[in-house]
Structure 1
Amino acid sequence: MPRSVPPPDWVLTRRRVVGGQIRAARLRANLTQETVAARAGMDRATYNRIEQGHSSPLLDSLILIADAIGAELAELVRT
């Protein structure tokens, strides 16, 4: 069920930090968004929204992204 009230600003800020860490890990691995999205079983637009901090992914999606990049999950979500 979608939230009726948007999350507080500090949550959105931390979500963007996590997205930036995902992007940095992807770039260190020399991978494209398309490659990571395909490996994680999602479309590129969904992956892009996660990386930009516009979407709040499920834990399962974060695990799949970490595996697709070859990074530790903790590395991607540490704020």
Structure 2
Amino acid sequence: MDGVPSASQPDWVLTRRRAIGESIRTARRHASLTQEAVALRSGLDRASYNRIEQGHQSPLLDTLIRIANAIGVPLADLVR
């Protein structure tokens, strides 16, 4: 799993992580892509991708870049 375990993060970080996951989900749906399609395009397994969308997993920057590329949006759109 990428990143730092959730238990060691303050609540505001977890809230922000969930918001980023929601931004990823919104962008994916807007692009009419399934979780499986984005996971495949970004080199992730679907379960890991799902945990990122749900805000349960903290992805590395490289992973976020690959997800943005797979969806076809700028990285900044996912982390605003």
TM-score (norm 1): 0.93
CA shift for structure 1 position 2: 5.4
Residues 6-45 of structure 1 mapped to structure 2, 5 A cutoff: 6-45=8-47
Residues in 1 aligned to 2:55 and 2:32: alpha-carbon distance in whole angstroms: 20
Contact 2:38–2:71 (Cα < 8 Å) also in 1: yes
The runs of at least 4 consecutive aligned structure 1 residues that moved more than 6 Å come to: none
Q: Calculate percent identity across the aligned residue pairs.
A: 66
Residues in 2 aligned to 1:2 and 1:12: alpha-carbon distance in whole angstroms: 11
Residues in 1 aligned to 2:11 and 2:47: alpha-carbon distance in whole angstroms: 23
Alignment RMSD: 1.5
Which sections of structure 1, spanning at least 5 residues, go unmatched?
Answer: none
Q: How many residues align?
A: 77
